[in-house]
């Protein structure tokens, strides 16, 4: 079964720390992988999309990597801020799963000042 | 402003009373879809549409209907809601669904539905 797993489920860090969120997927045949941010009571905001042919994408303090052979992606957040507190979701578009994004259950990040 | 809008944002209803949740996007996107989000289960796709008049089932379509008569609108219809459809619903759209950069999904703010 094609699944997406995110570890840890929750993470607390002090402001200013660099941190890494992990995402693993079960099949290397993917079209792309997308990282989202979800704030309580709000929708999902797309952060980065990595195509299957790419190794990484960067946007500001965020850097996402993709290693298809090991079935892993990481989201690196540099110099974390309290405003980064949210749930981060990883979603994979598998080549054999139609058009659906398969989501992980998320990592809830809390950054304290 | 480019956005996906959903209405209503919150809805409490009773079993069996038909309802429609509207979704509209102003980005001329071809691809639209509906997801539900449940604690412990994450987000799961209900239905999707590749273009006008082209719709298909996602992973959890039972109890739902959709239509795509116009490119910008993709309503979700619950003909006879039941308590197990209590959930947080999201509409999403993207330029395409062909495995390119146009796949970036844009989500609406969500509709919290409670069926009593």
Mean pLDDT by 10 residues, chain B (116 residues): 93 97 95 94 93 93 97 97 97 79 83 97
pLDDT score, position B104: 84
The span from the CA of A93 to the CA of A90, in Å, is 10
Per-residue pLDDT, B1: 82
Is the Cβ–Cβ distance between B8 and B108 less than 8 Å? Answer: no
What pLDDT does residue B99 have? 55
CB contact under 8 A, B104 and A106: no
pLDDT in tens, A67-82: 999 999 999 999 999 9
The pLDDT value recorded for residue A96 is 76
Contact B43 A103 (CB under 8 A): yes
Q: What is the pLDDT of residue A57?
A: 95
For position A41, what pLDDT does the model report? 78
CA distance A113 to A2: 38
Task: Please report residues of A whose CB lies closer than 8 A to that of B110.
Answer: 41-43
The token duo for B88 is 């947080």
Interface contacts A/B by beta carbons within 8 Å: 65
How confident is the model at residue B102, as a pLDDT? Answer: 61
Radius of gyration of chain A measured on its C-alpha atoms: 13
Show which of residues 32-91 on chain B sit within 8 Å of chain A, judged by CB atoms.
Answer: 33, 35, 40, 42-45, 48, 50, 56, 58-59, 90
What is the pLDDT, as a whole number, of residue A95? 85
- Residue spans of chain A under pLDDT 70: 97
């Amino acid at each position: 079964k094609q699944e997406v797993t995110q570890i840890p489920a929750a993470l607390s860090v002090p402001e200013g720390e660099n941190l890494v969120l992990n995402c693993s997927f079960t099949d290397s045949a993917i079209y792309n992988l997308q990282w989202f941010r979800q704030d309580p009571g709000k929708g999902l905001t797309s952060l980065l999309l990595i195509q299957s042919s790419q190794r990484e994408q960067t946007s500001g303090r965020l850097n996402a990597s993709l290693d298809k052979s090991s079935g892993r992606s990481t989201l690196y957040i540099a110099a974390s801020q309290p405003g980064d507190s949210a749930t981060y979701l990883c979603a994979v578009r598998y080549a054999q799963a139609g058009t659906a994004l398969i989501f992980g259950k998320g990592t809830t990040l809390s950054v304290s000042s | 402003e480019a956005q996906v809008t959903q209405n209503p944002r919150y809805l409490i209803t009773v079993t069996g009373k038909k309802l429609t949740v509207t979704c509209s996007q102003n980005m001329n996107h071809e691809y639209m879809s509906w997801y539900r989000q449940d604690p412990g289960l994450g987000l799961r796709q209900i239905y999707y549409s590749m273009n006008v008049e082209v719709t298909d089932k996602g992973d959890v379509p039972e109890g739902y209907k959709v239509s795509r008569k116009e490119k910008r609108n993709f309503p979700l219809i619950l003909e006879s809601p039941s308590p197990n459809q209590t959930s947080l619903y999201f509409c999403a759209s993207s330029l395409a669904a062909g495995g390119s950069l146009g796949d970036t999904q844009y989500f609406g703010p969500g509709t919290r539905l409670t069926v009593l």
